[in-house]
Amino acid sequence: MNSRQSMDEIAIDLMQFRRALGNFATGVTIVTAQNDQGEKVGVTANSFNSVSLDPPLILWSIDKNSSSFSVFEQATHFAVNILSGSQIELSNKFSRRNIDKYEGTSYQTGAGKAPVLDHCSAVFECERHEIIEGGDHWIIIGKVVKFHDQGRSPLVYHQGAYSGVIPHPLLQLKDTVQAEPEDLGQLHQGHLYSNVCYLMSRAFKFYQTDYIPKQLVTGFRTSEARLLLVLGSGTASNKADLPRDIAMPMREVEQAATILKKDGLMVESDGFFKLTEKGKKTAHYLFDIADSHQNEVFEKYPEQEKEVFIKILKDIAGIA
């Protein structure tokens, strides 16, 4: 083959090309719109990207063969819903065809009647700005007119599989080094390192450094995850007792409960909370994460020492 042969003359294996593109990890979005006739559409897409800050422009692309394109073309606005780690089921739902994607889906109506999905990591409400042809796809550019930043850990897609975001180990190592200057506690080191309050606080901080990111990857906030774990363990269901067991103010407990009820994970009756079957499965998943991390931390200790340690913590915490 002539080395000067142009790239467009070289046959590209489409499957290998797609697999190579899969090395670029992306977030997962559901792009939604509604036309004047009330037809609502929504498609799962990972082609979302930013274009410009001033003016605020974003883009995404849709297959030319998609039956949803006509509505996106007709609608004045669309919404890009960036999914959280807890919304895999929703992502799969909107990737299917020939179903009512909005049946049982929790959403609000945004700019230009575009559906705005609940409990996402972020949402960008956009005015349709321009549609450009791009090979076998249409590239749709939108001007952001409103956005919502929920701060939830996003759902990630990499090499054809869902994934999640956790801090890179090198960053954690860097933070640890910065937090441990050579002269830390030199003056009263012996006394400080035998102080129970100091050791418990420090141990808790280091334990959570690795554990909390694993929990947040699920897309649940800490308050929501704690509520699911407490209800799943059966230690408390009375609303009045939950702030004590979750270690958060009642306001945060109520906010978490509202979201979990809306997602069909729990129900409330006469001041008591109860997990639904979906909630029980989710709590079981969260317990697996918690147990796995605990086992990693204690794997170098004999089982007897672990049991003594847990007994001491229970005594200090006033748990029978």
Comparing 19-33, 69-83, 191-205, 219-233, which segment has the lowest mean pLDDT? 191-205
In a domain, 180, yes or no: no
Residues 46 and 141 in one domain: yes
Distance CA 221, CA 240 (A): 21
Q: Which of 142-151, 173-182, 221-230, 262-271 shows the lowest per-residue confidence on average (mean pLDDT)? A: 173-182
- Tell me, yes or no, whether 146 and 212 share the same domain: no
Is 16 a domain residue? no
Of 45-59, 121-135, 185-199, 227-241, the least confident: 185-199
The whole-angstrom separation of Cα 92 and Cα 281 is: 18
123 and 67 share one domain: yes
Q: Is residue 131 part of a domain?
A: yes
Structural domain boundaries, residue 122: 23-158
pLDDT at 187 over 60: no
Give the 3-state secondary structure of 219-258: CCCHHHHHHHHHHHHCCCCEHHHHHHHHCCCHHHHHHHHH
pLDDT of amino acid 114: 97
pTM above 0.95, yes or no: no
Same domain, residue pair 152 and 213: no
Q: Is residue 177 part of a domain?
A: no
Query: What is the predicted pLDDT for the residue at 174?
Result: 56
Between 275 and 196, the more confident residue is: 275
Q: What is the pLDDT of residue 1?
A: 44
Q: What is the mean pLDDT of the chain?
A: 86
Do 224 and 134 share a structural domain?
Answer: no
Among 103, 123, 158, residue at a domain's last position: 158
- pLDDT of amino acid 74: 96
Are residues 147 and 229 located together in one domain of the fold? Answer: no
| pLDDT reading at 22 higher than 90 | no
12 in any annotated domain: no
pLDDT of residue 178: 54
* b/e code 236-249 from CB counts within 10 Å (16+ = b): bbebeebbebbebe
How many domains does the chain fold into?
Answer: 2
Q: Which residue has the higher pLDDT, 20 or 115?
A: 115
Report whether 229 contacts 287 (CB < 8 A).
yes
Question: Averaged over 174-187, what is the pLDDT?
Answer: 52
- Candidates 33, 44, 37, 35; CA nearest to 125 is 33
> Would residue 267 count as lying in a domain?
yes
Do 152 and 220 share a domain, yes or no? no
- Cβ proximity of 218 and 153 under 8 Å: yes
Q: Where residue 76 sits, what CATH number does that domain have?
A: 2.30.110.10
Segment 190-214 mean pLDDT: 81
What CATH number has the domain bearing residue 252? 1.10.10.10
Domain boundary among 124, 158, 192: 158
Which of 158, 185, 214 terminates a domain? The answer is 158
Residue 124 has pLDDT above 90, yes or no: yes
Residues 27 and 130 in one domain: yes
pLDDT surpassing 80 at residue 282? yes
117 is a domain residue: yes
Give percent above pLDDT 70 in the chain.
Answer: 89
